[in-house]
Amino acid sequence: MDKYVIVGTDSMLNDIVDVIHALNGKVCAIYQNMKELPVRKGPTIKERIALLGYPVEVHDDLDSFSIKPGFKYVQGLNSVQKYKMIGELKSAFEIQFTTLIHPDAYLGSNVKIGEGVFINAKATIAPNAHIDDFCSINRSAVVGHDAYVGKFSRLGPSVSLAGSTTIGSHCSICISATVLDYVNIGDWSVIGAGAVVSKDIPEGKVAVGTPARVIRANEARDFSKYLEKRARQVSS
């Protein structure tokens, strides 16, 4: 049985653990990277861990993190802001993050998967697609043939990317959105839930609707503003 260490936690924790279990693995330790946001609905992280039914070593921060032989290390964040934590860890340690692919996902021929990628159950990755480092592909998402998903980007449940689409780095494509053939989404852009994207979206924009239209700039690309927003949420 493979032993896993999860580095970083957010709302994706249950899914990360589920894929580990589906691969006949076991979670041995979890390192939280930031203070948990207040829980308005659903269990806290520690309540989620308690549901596993076996002991897990839990650390509230990364201060005591170290590399130990015999363990697989997976990043546990769904946020595109994961790049900050991963970059710092790679600078401090010789760490290689394991890719997690649910056994019920389908990967076509000549698919390229980068480091630390997470692919959930029922996802479909068509032939010749490229999922770059540290992407998250959620349940039942479809990535069409010859499509590219850039580093640190995430596809929500039931997202559909048609053939030859290009998703930039640090993008969020929200639940049930559709991106049509040959469309390009710029780096740091967000596509709203259920949107249908029929033309290119520039870098750093938020687009919603059917057909999708740009409504504002995406402030999430500024890490300091991201931290300020989190601080407000923690104190609220």
- What's the rounded Cα separation, in Å, for the pair 30 and 59? 6
Tokens coding 116: 């630390």
**One-letter identity of residue 143:** V
Count of CA atoms in the C-beta half-sphere (13 A) of 40: 3
Q: Is 130 a catalytic residue?
A: no
| Active-site annotation holder among 21, 102, 130, 145 | 145
- What's the rounded Cα separation, in Å, for the pair 171 and 205? 10
Q: Under 8 Å CB-to-CB from 215, ≥6 apart: which residues?
A: 206, 207, 208
The angle subtended at Cα 61 by Cα 81 and Cα 23, nearest 5°, is 70
Query: Strands across the sheet with 142-143, in order?
Result: 106-107, 124-125, 142-143, 160-161, 178-179, 196-197
- What's the rounded Cα separation, in Å, for the pair 2 and 211? 45
Tell me how crowded residue 24 is: count the other CB atoms within 10 A of its CB. 9
Tokens coding 181: 């053939």
Give the SS3 label for residue 208. strand
Residues with a catalytic annotation lie at 145
